[in-house]
Structure 1
Amino acid sequence: MAHIRRVEGGICAVEGVEAWGRRDGKDGLALVRARGRCVGVYTKNAFQAAPLVLTRARLASSRGWTEGIVVSSGNANSFTGRRGLEDAERMAELAADAMGVSRGRVLVSSTGVIGCRLNMPLIESQIERVAPMLEHSPRGSDAAARAILTTDRAKKEIAVEVGEGSERVVLGAIAKGAGMVEPNMATMLAFIYTDAQLPSPVLRRALREAVDCSFNMLTIDRDTSTNDMVLLTSVACERVPADMWVYEQNLREGLSYVCRELARMMAADAEGASTLITVNVRGAQSIEDARAAARAVAGSTLVKTAVYGRDPNWGRVAAALGYSGARVDAGRTSISIAGVHMVRGGEPLPFDEQQASRAMEGEELVIDIDLGMGSHSATAWGCDLTHEYVELNSRYRT
């Protein structure tokens, strides 16, 4: 396994990536200029937003080649009819002209309120102000990462180096996601850049694998949005690796790490959340069973509320395992919460409930489960369900 090193710079840690962004109240806009091949994974929601429709069409027509992306926050441009698609196309044209790249090679993404037309005069003004600021520096990535947020409390940005010498791979990413997050795909936007030069089918498989063990293992509120997308762009470079197999493995390991870290950031920064919930499942008969069990526990409303109340009610965990669809056996199942063993091999264990409640305090709580059925494992992430979540989402538009 290659050594993964965290580095500074976000997406601009990758040579050839320039970025910038700005906010005007709740409305933000980011531009990223980078030439290369792009692959994506998108929402499963049947109502796909205009920017997503346009981006998928452009990648298909250009065989994955892109020269930049424009991202707006505050308005999803979803369920806006034909005018919504026209606005997305106009947004791409304005961005292309401002960045000095081909009009048909700029991708579009938006996030925010569903059912409202974009404020195109504001979009045009923001593009005019952001484009001259594009730069290849950590400042550029930081500005773009902050511009794409909606209800997020903190920016989500990461950069890593994997491997050494000619096999060294650099990856940088920015993302947003705090609410309407449920697997398949988890509701969020993520833009990942790498200097790894690999064929599009390899990039696509690597991205799908990374998403399956990260964003698709993230659940906050069981709502899937209309705008979700993860884009991976391989930026053109001239380096030729000595060992292509090692080079590809470095990309895969680095990409999985980046996506898992972003997923953790989203769960920790979820709307109203006070606690990140990490659910580790081992001993499953298959990877599908392990993932189903972990997701069920992380997504359980009753588990979420128990965590919020610091209530060591392991029965909530057991119930979620039972309806998860995974193959389980009550007589083989073991459960620990916050390091306190509560069930072993199907037998409830005595424990001090007050001490267990105190152990559940903190910013992260870990639930460990052994199904005792096989050798497969998986991890899912979620968060507690708080009063603040209800307050925030009860007045999202108003």
Structure 2
Amino acid sequence: MSTIHWVEAQPRSARWHSESGLPLPRRVVVADDRMRAAVAHRLACEGTALLWRGDFHNARQLLRAMDRRVGRSTPGVPGSAAEAFHAQRRFRAHRARVLGKVLVLLEEDHTLALRRAPDVRRACDEAYGPPTDGPFAVALTELLGVISAREWREKGVHVPALGARVHPHYGVFAPTRSEYVDLVARAPLPCGGAVRTAFDLGTGTGVLAAVLARRGIGQVVATDVSARARECARANMRRLGLTATVRVTGPGLYPDGRAGLVVCNPPWVPAKPASDLDLGVYDAGGGMLRGFLGGLAGRLEPGGEGWLVLSDLAELLGLRRREELMAAVEEAGLRVVGRMDTRPRHARVRDTGDPLHAVRAAEVTSLWRLAAA
């Protein structure tokens, strides 16, 4: 286990944990309410981590002040969309490294022993699993994400196509963009509408599996590589009363057998994820997309279809060409039998301050209906 070391009256140490893949801090100093944001920012940029021992709310204020200083170094918008995308990723990685230098110590039972600190034990239990031996250190930014995830898990996300809420777990992509769910809810079912079995590959929260079940499909098999996602999907099926219809399995992409309908909503951006938390957005080299296409023809029942739910964001960013997608479909022994398109409705489309605003405003999400050639 990685371990951080610091001096606090005497030499001390604790395990280091980072869900987002932040590197092990090599130098750690104790900080409290007397720490000024300018000093904290300088130390963080130099690679020194600050183990916070002051007031919890003051630590959050310090993070906001440091963030303002990081924001002053935001790069200018480059010429192409691809350059803007890569520059934005580099800046976000830099920001995460700097702000991730403010650390807190979680006790063995996940207690946060700071003045005015909230009770984070349940949130940490859900994110990290049962308490382990001894305390461990995490970035305050990560802990705030864990707290936020607990709130999302509690209140859920309303999905109009279901008329119900879906409750995302920590580390599982939340279905906050309803337009792609609406496509799956509206597309005409293959096999004359009499689909007995459907697969939902990369199910995440299970939202698309739930939509398929509500459409009357007798058996839906939902898969995911992530144990967190499988647990989340099972919990949502229990909430929705769909456990008799939806079976969640993994970690393989395809389950055994064939289906009249195979649905896949892979991560839309073929870029390397920084950590497992990014797997819902980034698909390194388009691996999941290729896996879906390559296995589809051999898993379809006669008259069956595969539905690929995919944004053209990667094409607009210059990370993939439409010709490459069509060539991959053909090479997999498939043909396109139909397509449905929709425009994004999320708030970032209207954010003119976003360096990628023009790309986001032009984005189209499509449901490609594929059949064996």
TM beyond 0.5: no
Instruction: Give the TM interval when normalised to the shorter protein.
Output: under 0.3
Higher relative contact order (CA 8 A, sep 6+): 1
Flag the structure with larger Rg: 2
**TM score, norm. by length of structure 2:** 0.28
